[in-house]
Structure 1
Amino acid sequence: MQIMIDLPPDLEQDLIRQAAQSNVPLQTLILQALRQLIHSKSDSTSQWLEVILSYKGSPDFPAFESYRDELLPPREAELF
């Protein structure tokens, strides 16, 4: 399949430069970038950044889960 797209000149130059530095054809570089984008999206189960996911909290602060027993149950919806 062939797809034709119009790239902004700055992006085109960046791609050409990166392909030359990596010593790979421009088409190969673009295919690698697309594959990486598709795989990273499908492998990702969360939209959270790694820095958020790896946050351990403060040892001086009680864990959020410790407050669960104090939470009130959700109110039943009133139908009438």
Structure 2
Amino acid sequence: MQIMINLPPDLEQDLTRQAAQSNIPLQTLILNALRQTTENYPKPLSQWTEVILTYEGVPDFPAFESYRDELL
């Protein structure tokens, strides 16, 4: 896959300089940075709190589905 991005000149210069100092191609430097970012990015298990996930509702309350026809 190819992705084209526009970098600010200062960032482009920094990346080019770092690649030259590390003696690696610029593409490799960028790929390594992206891999590090995605590996260290916290992946949320759920956006809902435990209170919401374990909510069982009110036993005597009619099921929402029973009102579906009236919503039309």
Separation (CA, whole Å) in 2 of partners of 1:15 and 1:30: 8
Q: Tell me, which stretches of 5 or more residues in structure 2 are unaligned?
A: 44-72
> 2:32 and 2:19 mapped to 1: Cα distance?
11
SS in 2 for 1:7: coil
Q: Aligned residue for 1:34?
A: 34
C-alpha distance in 2 between matches for 1:19 and 1:40: 22
1:73 matched to which residue of 2? none
TM-score by length of 1: 0.52
User: After the TM superposition, which parts of structure 1 deviate over 3 Å for at least 4 consecutive aligned residues?
Assistant: none
* RMSD across aligned positions (CA): 1.5
1:3 aligns with 2:3: yes
Query: What's the CA shift for 1:4?
Result: 0.3
CA distance in 2, matches of 1:28, 1:20: 11
SS in 2 for 1:5: coil
Structure 1: which 5+ runs fail to align?
Answer: 46-80
Match of 2:20 in 1: 20
| C-alpha distance in 2 between matches for 1:28 and 1:34 | 10
- Higher Cα Rg: structure 1 or 2? 2
Q: TM-score, normalised by structure 2?
A: 0.57
- Count of residue pairs the alignment pairs up: 44
